[in-house]
Structure 1
Amino acid sequence: MFRSRPRRLALATLTVVPLLALTACGGSADAQGGAAQLDVPAAEADGPLDLSGVCPATVVMQQDWQPEAEHGAMYSLVGADHTVDIEAKSVTGSLVAQGVDTGVDIEVRPGGPNVNFQPVPSLMYLDDSILLGAVTTDGQIAGLADNPVVTVASQLTNSPQMVMWDPESHEGATTIKEAAADGDPLVASGDVFPQLLAAQGIIDKSQIDLSFEGTPQRFVSDPSILQQGFATAEPYSYENEIPQWNKPVDYQLISEVGYSVYPEALAVRADKLEENADCLAKLVPIMQQSQIDYLEDPQATNELIVDLVDQYQTGWTYSLGVADYSVKAQKDLGIVTDDPASGVFGQIDPDRMAEIVDTFGTLLVNAGQIDSADIDPESLYTNEFIDDSISMGS
């Protein structure tokens, strides 16, 4: 699995900030000294936004990394009455969708260092209170044997992962292949996507360097390298928040060169799908719409995300500037779009899923992460809960 998530630890400096001692008790209220009152109407009883009676009293959602704008669809559902558990690193409040109280609570948990970098499917099998997890398709395939999950909706349509380079050191380069032409290292934290590039002749295998630790230290000191990153964050951070750099970077999305996975898609444990079907029939359309609504009006959610980062105190840094840039990039770069095949937002394309299995099954076998690439693509997803009337253009 391509695990690049140890990426922006302490971007504003050139050293990794140590984890701070956490002295707050679990279940602590937010930084304002207590939960705000929820001032929204209740959903119409038994209507499409009423989740009471069909969903768990607290709908637990597990993200794969620290709070950030790429996770806005989840965090945008957290009501104003939320509380923050600083020790457990979670936020809980009324689940508010489309301006109404759905009758249940939502708890959003971050991943990455907060869970010792465990993959989300593993977490879902360790704790069956997690209903929805953010699982990228190559990670889903990697965990299929021991922790099978089923994707029920896409949130980010295309991966924001990129390869970036210094435009002065790679003058005139507009693609990864052009930037890599002189043989400089591609520094990454996982080998699946570099191996994908090597298999296509975009880079040579000798250029793969898996020593990326998530800081800008090496890129700043050796601008000849190519480096993994997120097009929704690093271009802004490197130009505006790293004083030792403070200039643009160039990049290409790896989704343009074969990294076709669904990033951070919403998944349910395979053995929990049927028993949660009534809940998912209402919750999945809410998640489809929440991503669209978030991108249209992100301010309050971005402020919550930044506040959570500040309260969690894990060494991760995240600013409103990055969050606002991310929202714009998600839209401008086509990272969040309707499914091109159907025109429905969040729907999984069967042909694309089959292509993903063909490509990444082989790569994961070669990487020693799975034993067999004999995988039925249809076992990885279902569109049965998708509301096909929901689109970004509607």
Structure 2
Amino acid sequence: MKLALNWKPEPQFGGFYAAQVSGFDKKNGIELDILPGGAGTPVVQMVAAGQASFGIASADEVIMARSRGADVVAIFAAYQTNPQAIMAHEERGFKTLAEVYGAEGTLAIQKGLPYALFLEKKFREAKLPMKAKIVPYLGGIQNFLTDKTYSQQCFATSEPLAAAKQKSKAKAFLVADSGYNPYTTVVIVRGDVLKKNEDLVKSVVATVRAGWEDYLSKPEATNKKMAELNKSMDAETFRESAEAQKYLIQTVQTKASGLGSMSEARWKVLIDQLVDLKVVKTPAETLTHFRN
């Protein structure tokens, strides 16, 4: 059963690898074959075309894909709070993300992404000063390390930790706190597979939920496995990142409804935001996008 990732083996995928390491997939009558990804891996297209039975995407990607005719459905959301963030140098003393945008300096960000469009629209409509020079984000943190006026996009569980290892203190501002919070590390499946083989889908959800419960409580064995597959991340970073992401995955809702659960209200808010941003043209039926 192929599960296509959109990045390399890292703690953000720990629960999926834990499902393998602890044998939850076989206990549920399936065998997960996890396909690592990288920058630009077309996971949604792979799932839509049947090249992978399941894949990892974000909720806004699901909505945009469905608006273009791709029949993909979300069935499990590992991250309840999106880790997308903007990080600035702690010594600059920023208290809010609006202050980052309003200060002189450089802000490296992928302008066309929905979250970037949302932030720009939000701050412009509030008539806040926009003094930061926006430049394309090219990856890494080298420019951040050498320029105290440089801010950049990041994952709250990744680049700030990397900066700290280089003796550079970063303060990360979650985009979710500004009001744009799509579920991410979302498992997707084709709609026809969901309809024709609901038992399989239920087994996959049970498997990844058990994997995430296991990883959140004892990540050591799974981190060791992922480290063998991803030599670019050291053991300490695996440990720190696994710990840093817990509050983004375990929430009040997951305690009530189970890890990975989603709400119709959250999906509706996101659809309305994407329509407002003109990323998608018309509102869509919320319940077609996800299934708990």
Q: TM-score, normalised by structure 1?
A: 0.67
Structure (1/2) with the larger helix percentage: 2
Distance verdict in 2 for CA 1:106–1:286, change over 3 Å: closer
CA contact (8 A) 1:339 1:347 kept: no
How far the C-alpha of 1:341 sits from its partner, in A, is 8.4
Corresponding position of 2:31: 105
Instruction: Give distance in 2, aligned partners of 1:341 and 1:66.
Output: 26
Corresponding position of 2:190: 269
State the AA in 2 paired with 1:110: P
SS at match of 1:65: coil
CA contact (8 A) 2:60 2:182 kept: yes
CA contact (8 A) 2:100 2:132 kept: no
Corresponding position of 1:54: none
**1:375 is aligned to 2:290:** no
SS at match of 1:66: coil
Instruction: Give distance in 2, aligned partners of 1:118 and 1:290.
Output: 23
Corresponding position of 1:18: none
CA contact (8 A) 2:88 2:150 kept: yes
Corresponding position of 1:330: 245
**Percentage of identical aligned residues:** 23
Higher relative contact order (CA 8 A, sep 6+): 2
Corresponding position of 1:162: 85
How large is the RMSD of aligned CA atoms in angstroms? Answer: 2.3
Corresponding position of 1:62: 4
Structure 2 residue runs without a partner (length 5+): none
**1:120 is aligned to 2:43:** yes
How far the C-alpha of 1:60 sits from its partner, in A, is 1.1
Distance verdict in 2 for CA 1:359–1:237, change over 3 Å: same
Distance verdict in 2 for CA 1:272–1:101, change over 3 Å: closer
SS at match of 1:291: helix
**1:347 is aligned to 2:274:** no
Pairing partner for 1:135 from 50, 57, 80: 57
Distance verdict in 2 for CA 1:129–1:276, change over 3 Å: farther
SS at match of 1:273: helix
How far the C-alpha of 1:71 sits from its partner, in A, is 0.3
Pairing partner for 1:218 from 143, 158, 164: 143
CA contact (8 A) 2:96 2:173 kept: yes
Corresponding position of 1:90: none
Moved more, 156-165 or 184-193: 184-193
Distance verdict in 2 for CA 1:161–1:150, change over 3 Å: same
Distance verdict in 2 for CA 1:349–1:342, change over 3 Å: farther
Corresponding position of 1:39: none
SS at match of 2:78: coil
SS at match of 1:290: helix
1:1-394 alignment to 2 at 5 Å? 59-79=1-21, 96-97=23-24, 101-113=27-39, 117-126=40-49, 128-144=50-66, 145-168=68-91, 170=92, 172-191=93-112, 192-201=114-123, 207=132, 209-240=134-165, 242=166, 246-310=167-231, 317-331=232-246, 334-338=247-251, 340=253, 343-345=256-258, 346-365=260-279, 370=280, 372-383=281-292
Structure 1 residue runs without a partner (length 5+): 1-58, 80-94, 311-316, 384-394
CA contact (8 A) 1:180 1:226 kept: no
Instruction: Give distance in 2, aligned partners of 1:190 and 1:308.
Output: 32
Instruction: Give distance in 1, aligned partners of 2:6 and 2:129.
Output: 30
CA contact (8 A) 1:174 1:251 kept: no
How far the C-alpha of 1:209 sits from its partner, in A, is 2.6
1:316-347 deviation line (CA, Å, top 9, x unaligned): x212222111121112xx20124638821221
Distance verdict in 2 for CA 1:266–1:327, change over 3 Å: same
Distance verdict in 2 for CA 1:326–1:196, change over 3 Å: same
How far the C-alpha of 1:134 sits from its partner, in A, is 0.9
Count of matched residue positions in the alignment of Structure 1 and Structure 2: 286
CA contact (8 A) 2:157 2:244 kept: yes
Instruction: Give distance in 2, aligned partners of 1:251 and 1:141.
Output: 27
State the AA in 2 paired with 1:62: A
CA contact (8 A) 1:166 1:250 kept: yes
Distance verdict in 2 for CA 1:163–1:289, change over 3 Å: same
CA contact (8 A) 1:339 1:348 kept: no
